[in-house]
Amino acid sequence: MDTKMELDVIKAQKGDQEAFIRLIKAMESSFYRIASTIVKSDSDSLDAAQETIIKAYLSLHTLKEPRYFKTWIIKILIRECTHLLRVRNKFVPLVPDIHSHHYETSIEEKLDMRDCISKLENEYRIVISLFYLQDLSIKDIAEIIDQPEGTVKSRLSRARKKLEKWLTKDNESGGMGYERI
């Protein structure tokens, strides 16, 4: 995290609301991307982000190291998303949609890749999203999800294998043509 953000965390902890607003604005697109890969619904993503902001604001004084603000708040967001899933009795389908489509543009391929990611089990979807979409390190992800780094590595590996299997199967059937991950 950069020093400007770290200074804003310190200011926000001392009651500077403008500093807190700057922190949230810097993170809001990440909030939505992370939440939408976990809960899938736009309204649930926004609810999770809103609850995260409220909880972060109310408990900012508990953050001991300002440099860990980003991982701390993402951890809150993931808990909120998981809570929303539990409350709404949502589930993640274990079997991908077997209907394949032919896509011609890279934008459509990216959207389809996100669709495949969204079909992963929650534990795999979270680590894939944090690693590839948020560019977080394995160490940061391990801290966020309260798991050892080895667990994060194995989940990433399993998720990659599942995605590769789905995408290779679609490619062989004349569907999506992706490079191996």
Residues 28 and 68 in one domain: yes
DSSP string, 11-73: HHHTT-HHHHHHHHHHHHHHHHHHHHHHH--HHHHHHHHHHHHHHHHHHGGG-S-GGGHHHHH
Q: For 137-165, what is the mean pLDDT?
A: 89
- CATH code for the domain of 110: 1.10.10.10
Q: CB–CB of 119/97 below 8 Å?
A: yes
- Domain assignment of residue 26, given as a range: 3-87
Under the banding of pLDDT at 50, 70 and 90, the label for residue 176 is very low
Does the residue 178 lie in any domain? no
User: What's the length of the chain?
Assistant: 181
pTM for this prediction? 0.62
pLDDT digits over 36-94, tens only?
Answer: 888 878 888 898 999 999 999 999 999 999 999 999 999 999 999 888 887 765 344 43
Better pLDDT: 173 or 159: 159
- What CATH number is attached to the domain comprising 14? 1.10.1740.10
The per-residue pLDDT for 164 is: 79
